[in-house]
Structure 1
Amino acid sequence: MQHEVDVWSVEGQFQHLIYSPKGAIEGFLISTDGVPMQFVTDPHAPDLVEQLGALREGQAVVVEGIEAGPSPKGEAVHSLYAFERLASVDGKEPKASRDAHEVAGTVVRFNYARHGAPNGVVLDSGDFVHTRPGGFEKLGLEVGDKLVAQGDARPLVTGTGRVIEARRVNGQPID
């Protein structure tokens, strides 16, 4: 079953980054006609620091996001969106990440998140394709499957491959 999700495009002025208790970027605030709007980001996205860290207060931005549902922790004090992408900065398309890659290979094993759910695969090349648990479930991958993945990349700490933050796997978008 496929669900349609409305992606909103919001124009405003960048206000500031929002940090997690561990120091990662977990979102940012923009102002649209004086109304604050928060965008929540994935703190593990590899190009996030590069992309958002260069923004300065007052810059005109167009941001795409999905309206966040109610939180079990309480009501938000302003509009809240799950960040999808930064569409423009000061009327110009942002520079593409310098680390965008495509990898191809054969699945040799699954990788698991801290809570035990599969969150990606390791290829015969040694590259780890991170799909998150929801993406993994959607793809239905098995050991031995061939795949092509596109996404931002960074080296594994072991130096034996790369982590690919999958945006697409075998032509399917990863949400």
Structure 2
Amino acid sequence: MPQHHAPHETHAKHDTQDVWSVEGRFQHLVYSPKGGIEGVLIDTDGVATQFVFERHDEGAATAFEGLQVGQALVIEGTEEGPSPKGEAGHTVYRFERLASIDGEAPRHAHPDERIEGTVVRLNYARHGEANGVVLDTGDFVHTKPDGFAHLGLKVGDKVRAEGRAQPLATGEGRVVEAVRVNGRAVRDEG
């Protein structure tokens, strides 16, 4: 079955992937076989659209806490390719962020927040490449691998990061989707 894009979708290039912004209405959370939350299903003008969270990222689900069935939202994600496990019954995206709820910024995310601290360790993406740093404050500065390489951060560096922040799943500290670190753009703007 071919994947169909739902109405109310827009997209833009982000790094090397197309990031889609999908407007719809919240339907329900999607559970993993072990009882965790691995995604969300929305209705986009009668078309089911699924967003899946990164494995072991229970924190993504906190953005959807308290939502009611039918509540309007906009979610950003990258389209998943075909699965070797079988054909999807609807379009599936890898969740990037919850952009808005009922036309407003999500209550868990704080735009343009600034966090400061000293790098105590590197953080790694699932494929093993460094994708950010953890500070002595417990905060995680997410830069994605290309941003990490561009910035050249290392343990002991003082960091002032700016971007959209939300609580970590552990409840201790925040994660910031950094757009600027120490006054420098995370991604090379050239």
1:167 maps to which residue?
A: 177
Q: Which residue among 2, 24, 47 is the counterpart of 1:12?
A: 24
Q: What is the deviation of 1:165?
A: 1.9
Q: Give me the TM-score of the superposition, normalised by structure 1.
A: 0.69
Q: Give me the TM-score of the superposition, normalised by structure 2.
A: 0.65
**Matched length:** 165
**Inter-partner Cα distance in structure 1 for 2:107 and 2:50:** 23
Measured on the aligned residues, the alpha-carbon RMSD in Å equals 3.5
Q: What is the deviation of 1:16?
A: 1.0
Following superposition of structure 1 onto structure 2, how do residues 1-175 of structure 1 map, counting pairs within 5 Å?
3-42=15-54, 44=57, 46=59, 48-49=61-62, 51-90=63-102, 92-97=103-108, 102-110=114-122, 118=130, 120-123=132-135, 125-129=136-140, 131=142, 134=145, 136=148, 139-150=151-162, 151-154=165-168, 162-168=172-178, 170=181, 171-172=185-186
| One-letter identity of the residue aligned with 1:27 | G
**Inter-partner Cα distance in structure 1 for 2:120 and 2:69:** 46
| One-letter identity of the residue aligned with 1:44 | D
Q: 1:48 to 1:99 in 2, by over 3 A?
A: farther
Q: What is the deviation of 1:102?
A: 3.3
| One-letter identity of the residue aligned with 2:61 | L
**Inter-partner Cα distance in structure 2 for 1:75 and 1:29:** 17
CA contact under 8 A between 2:20 and 2:79: conserved in structure 1? yes
CA contact under 8 A between 1:120 and 1:128: conserved in structure 2? no
Gaps of 5+ in 2: 1-13
**Inter-partner Cα distance in structure 1 for 2:126 and 2:72:** 38
Gaps of 5+ in 1: none
